[in-house]
Structures are given as C-alpha cells and as structure tokens.
A = this chain, B = another copy of it.
Amino acid sequence: MRKGEITRRGIIRKAAPIFNQKGYEGAALSELMEATGLEKGGIYRHFQSKQQLAAEAFDYAWATAVSTRLEGTEQIANAVDRLKQIVWNFRDRREGLVPGGCPLLNTAIDTDDGNPVLRGKARRALARWIERLEAIVAEGQEKGEIEADVDAREVAMLIVSGLEGGLMMSRLQKKDEAIKLACRHLEEYLETKVRAAASEATKRGKNS
C-alpha cells in the first residue's frame, strides 16, 4: 500500500469515532486534528471536504458494524439459528465497534434534516442490511426451515427496527435492559412465527 493511502486510511479510522459520537456538525476540526495528529492541510490533502471525510468515516464504521454482527454466523446451517445469532451479536459484540453506538442509527438521526450525501449513504446502508437479512429468510424458506407464508422483507425489517429501537433506549438509559428485552422478544418471534413447524418435526425425526 502506498504511503498516501496508509495515511488516508489512518485518518478515516481516527476520524470515525469522532463523527460517530459527535455527529457531522458536532465533529470539530480541532478534534479531528488532535485525533489524527495532523494539521488542517494534512487532513484535507486527502479529502475534498469535511463531508467527504464524514462519508468515508461512515462507510468504515458501518462496515465494522456489519462484519461484527455477521461474525460467526455464515457457518450456521439453519436460517433461523443464523438470524438468532445475528440478534445476539448485535446485543453482545459491541466491543469491536467504532465508539458511539450504531453508525446507522446515529447517521439517520443526525442527517435527518440535512446533509444529503451522508443521508444517502445511511439510506443505502439500511437498504443493503435489510436485503442481507431478507436473503437469509428467503434461503430458509427454500430449505423449508422457515414458514413459507412469512414475508421475508417484513421479518428483516422487524429485526432491524426492534434492535435499533432497543439500542436507542439502552444508550439513553445507559443500561442493557431495553436491548436485552428487544432481543428476547425477537428470539421468541423467530421461534414462534418464523421457524417452520415442519423443520422442528424433521429435526426430531433425524435425531430419533
């Protein structure tokens, strides 16, 4: 990797927690300079604008969040079990994330009434995240693990909104109660409304 590219990536990595914690407006140049150890010119040699830096910081924070949430799930054969592990990862694996909470939730609220570039990033990230979960549901339906009559997109959206709502409350309360509760509720939903009854029967059949 070229030296310029190394510096560039370092700036993104160090700027990401500031944007994720303070929001776009709240992220002061002085803090970005302190975190990166660079002068203004040193930062903006690599980025056209604050908005471009913020957009790349979002991409970095979001990519980290997605890979953390999917960690160890791809090898889980059953689709419902895979979705449950994603829910648990959301609740439990918050150490590897960029500090400041879910980048999607933060950027959604932060850019709600302005900042179209960042807003577009967040909207596309949400769309892809929903599609990803939806694909797991669809795969589970093809394999008979998930009820044929559930709507894959609805399942995906309920998982995302349930988790984000619980996380928002937990962050405000500085307690895990809400996110734990949201996860328990989603688990029950996945077990009772999403998992195919036949799949359970098949499993029992195989084990007996």
Q: Which residues of A contact B (CB under 8 A)?
A: 21-23, 25-26, 100-101, 104-106, 108-110, 112-114, 119, 122-123, 126-127, 154, 157-158, 160-166, 168-169, 171-173, 177-178, 181-182, 185, 189
Contacts and interface: CB of A to CB of B under 8 A. Distances in A.
A118 to B, nearest CB: 11
A105 B113 CA distance: 14
B168 A113 contact: no
Q: Which of A21, A23, A126 has its CB near the most chain B CB atoms (within 10 A)?
A: A23
A22 B114 contact: yes
A160 B179 CA distance: 12
Nearest to A17: B113
Nearest to A113: B21
Given A165-B161, A178-B161, A126 B172 contact: yes
